[in-house]
Structure 1
Amino acid sequence: MAIMHGVVLYTRPYRDNDLLVRMLTQEAGLRTFLARGAKKNNSKLAAGVQPYTLNSFEGKLPKQQEGLGYLNSIQSSHYFRTVVEDLNISAYVALIAKLIDLSFEEGQPIEDWYDKFCQALEKLDQGLDPQIITNIFEIQLLKPLGVEPNLRADPIDGQMDGQFDYSEKYNGIIAENHYYLDDNRLHLDQKTIFYLRQFSQIKLSQINQIKISPATKRSLQKVIDYIYDQQVGLKPKEKVFIQSMDRWQSDLSRLVQERNLP
Structure 2
Amino acid sequence: MLITTKAIVLSKLKYRDNDLIVKCYTQQLGVVSFLLRGVLKNKKGSAKVAYFQLLSQLQIVFLYKNSRSLQTIKETKLNCIYTSLHTHVLKSSIVMFLSEVLANTLQEEEQNETLFSYLENTLLWLDSQLEYSNFHLLFLLKLTKYLGFYPDTTNVEYPFFDLSEGKFELKSNNKYNISGENLVLLKLLLGTTFDELPNIKINAKQRQSFLSMILLYFELHLGSFKTPKSLQVFNQVFS
Q: Please tell me the TM-score bracket, short chain as reference.
A: 0.7 to 0.9
Bigger radius of gyration: 1
Q: Equivalents in 1 of 2:122, 2:49: separation in Å?
A: 24
Query: CA deviation digits over 1:151-192, x for unaligned, max 9?
Result: 4023xxxxx5x4533234754322xxx34x548643324641
Taking the TM superposition and a 5 Å limit, the aligned residue runs for 1:157-176 are 160=156, 162=157, 164-168=159-163, 171-174=166-169
Q: Indicate the residue corresponding to 1:255 in structure 2.
A: none
Are the equivalent residues in 1 in contact too, given 2:57–2:80 (CA < 8 A)? yes
Provide the residue aligned with 1:192 in structure 2: 185
Give the counterpart of 2:136 among 134, 138, 144. 134
Given the two structures, how large is their TM-score scaled by the length of structure 2?
0.78
C-alpha RMSD of matched pairs (Å):
3.1
Q: Alpha-carbon deviation of 1:219? A: 5.5
1:2 partner SS:
strand
Structure 1 Cα separation of the partners of residues 55 and 164 of structure 2: 38
Alpha-carbon distance between aligned partners in 2 of 1:27 and 1:142, rounded to the nearest angstrom: 21
Distance 2:115 2:191 in 1: 18
Secondary structure at the aligned position of 1:46 is classed as: helix
What's the counterpart of residue 111 of structure 2? Answer: 109
CA-to-aligned-CA distance 1:84-138 (integer Å, 9 cap, x gap): 1123222222332222222233422222222111112211111255453322232
How far residue 60 of structure 1 moved from its aligned partner, in angstroms, is: 1.3
Matched position secondary structure for 1:85: coil
* 2:234 matched residue in structure 1: 242
State the 1:33 CA deviation: 1.0
- Give yes or no for contact 1:52–1:80 (8 Å, CA) kept in 2: no
| TM-score normalised over the length of structure 1 | 0.72
How many residues are matched? 230
Confirm or deny that 1:223 pairs with 2:213.
yes
Separation of aligned partners in 2, 1:244 and 1:230: 25
Give me the identity figure in percent: 17
Map of 1:49 onto structure 2? 52
Alignment-derived partner of residue 92 in structure 1: 94
Check conservation: 2:29, 2:110, Cα contact below 8 A.
Answer: yes
Whole-Å separation in 1 of the counterparts to 2:184 and 2:163: 19
Does the CA-based 8 Å contact 1:150-1:171 persist in structure 2? yes
User: 3-state SS of the aligned residue for 2:43?
Assistant: coil
| CA displacement at 1:57 relative to structure 2 | 1.8
Q: Which has the higher contact order (CA 8 A, sep 6+)?
A: 2
1:83 deviates by 0.8
How is 1:28-39 mapped onto 2 (pairs within 5 angstroms)? 28-39=29-40
Q: Match of 1:235, as an amino acid?
A: T
Contact kept, 8 Å, 1:32 with 1:68, in 2: the verdict is yes
Report the Cα distance in structure 2 between the residues aligned to 1:187 and 1:208, rounded to whole angstroms. Answer: 23
Q: Distance in 2 between matches of 1:168 and 1:52?
A: 28
| Structure 2 unpaired stretches of 5+ | none
**1:47/1:187 CA distance change after superposition, 3 Å:** closer
Give, in angstroms, the shift of residue 37 of structure 1: 3.1
Distance in 2, matches of 1:240 and 1:128, equals 24
Paired with 2:168 and 2:16, the residues of 1 have a C-alpha distance of 51
Give the unaligned 5+ runs of structure 1.
155-159, 250-262
Cα distance change on mapping 1:226 and 1:3 into 2, 3 Å = closer
Q: Is the 8 A contact 1:34 1:70 kept in 2?
A: yes
The within-5 A match list for 1:247-258 is: 249=239
Q: CA deviation at 1:32?
A: 1.0
Change (3 A) 1:25 1:208: farther
Give deviations 1:47-106, integer Å, cap 9, x for gaps.
322222211122112232x41011122244433241111232222223322222222334
